[in-house]
Amino acid sequence: MRKNRGYFAPLVTLVTVIDAPGLYVTRAGVTVSLSSVSSRHDFGNLGSYPNGTAEGWHRSGRLYAGTQCQNDIVRKAP
- pLDDT tens column, 19-53: 999 999 999 999 999 999 998 888 999 999 999 99
Mean pLDDT for the stretch of residues 6-12: 73
Domain boundaries, the chain: 5-76
Residue 11 has φ and ψ, to the nearest 5°, of: -90, -20
Residue 47's beta-bridge partner residues?
34, 55
6-15, 40-49, 68-77: least confident range: 6-15
Q: The whole model's pTM is what? A: 0.87
Number of H helices, E strands in the chain: 0, 5
Specify the pairing of strand 31-36 against strand 22-26: antiparallel
